[in-house]
Amino acid sequence: MNNSYPARENWRRLKNRLILGTITVLALIPTVPLFLILFQLLHKGLSSLSLDFFLNLPAPPGEPGGGIANAIVGTIIIVGLATLIGVPISIMAGIYLSEYGKESKLAHAVRISADVLQGVPSIVIGIVAYAWVVRPMGHFSALSGSVALALMMIPVVVRTTEEVLRLVPDILREASLALGIPYWRTVLKVVLPTGMVGVTTGILIAVARIAGETAPLLFTAFGNQFMTFNPLEPMNALPLVIFNYATSPYEDWWQQAWGASIVLVFMVLALNIVSRLLARRIAGEK
């Protein structure tokens, strides 16, 4: 009888370790695909990365030395323009929801619309941008792609802006109002700057999300074999290069698609890391 106690204790200790081990393994499973993806990308694409790859324009299949310079520039321009279009609208809407609309019917309608818009499939957003911008202009353009991406970005930034501004303590609003500062100035000069780091984090997350979108660009920005800086012309972008090269019949283009994937993934990863660091800074300030 006396001997069974240590035995049972050992069994409990063992059970404890078994369960901890199982849970740890299960927790690691979600990280496995990420590392597999990174491994696969580096394995297949690293060989196509070279200075020329970043600096040269695409070459015809079979010709060596082709690059994706125009797609990198194109992605920066298209995403940048989308940010310029989407961010002011989103921030104003977020300010409205947090500081003015609050619990009003209009505010609820805006919130629901944003949530629904966020759920619209990106291919549908692409078609809509085609109908709204490409058809009236008569040709594909980077601008139409930016409009599509802005539509994808807006709901994300609206909701994060609202959430971040709601976290700004009321005592700061009151401090400003008690100094005789009008409400709109209080919002713009006290509430918004106080929440700015959070708003910026939200924008970076949204930018990271849209940078890799392909479907909205297929019939808007369309793609371009040449370098262009004109947003009114068709423009190349990293997701388009990957799509077009990967679906082509040429082996050296497949290779380049892997290379372009590495560039895109690391751009998005960098944005995510920066936004995490910013978010940590907010957490540290509180």
Q: Which residues bind another protein (CB under 8 A)?
A: 169, 171-172, 174-182, 185-186, 189-190, 193-194, 196, 285
CA 226 to chain centre: 26
Least spacing, CB of residue 206 vs another protein, in Å: 23
Least spacing, CB of residue 163 vs another protein, in Å: 18
Pick 32 or 178: Cβ nearer another protein: 178
Least spacing, CB of residue 42 vs another protein, in Å: 42
Pick 43 or 185: Cβ nearer another protein: 185
Least spacing, CB of residue 100 vs another protein, in Å: 12
Pick 164 or 217: Cβ nearer another protein: 164
Instruction: For residue 156, give both structure tokens.
Output: 């994300």
Pick 141 or 186: Cβ nearer another protein: 186
Pick 11 or 184: Cβ nearer another protein: 184
Least spacing, CB of residue 286 vs another protein, in Å: 10
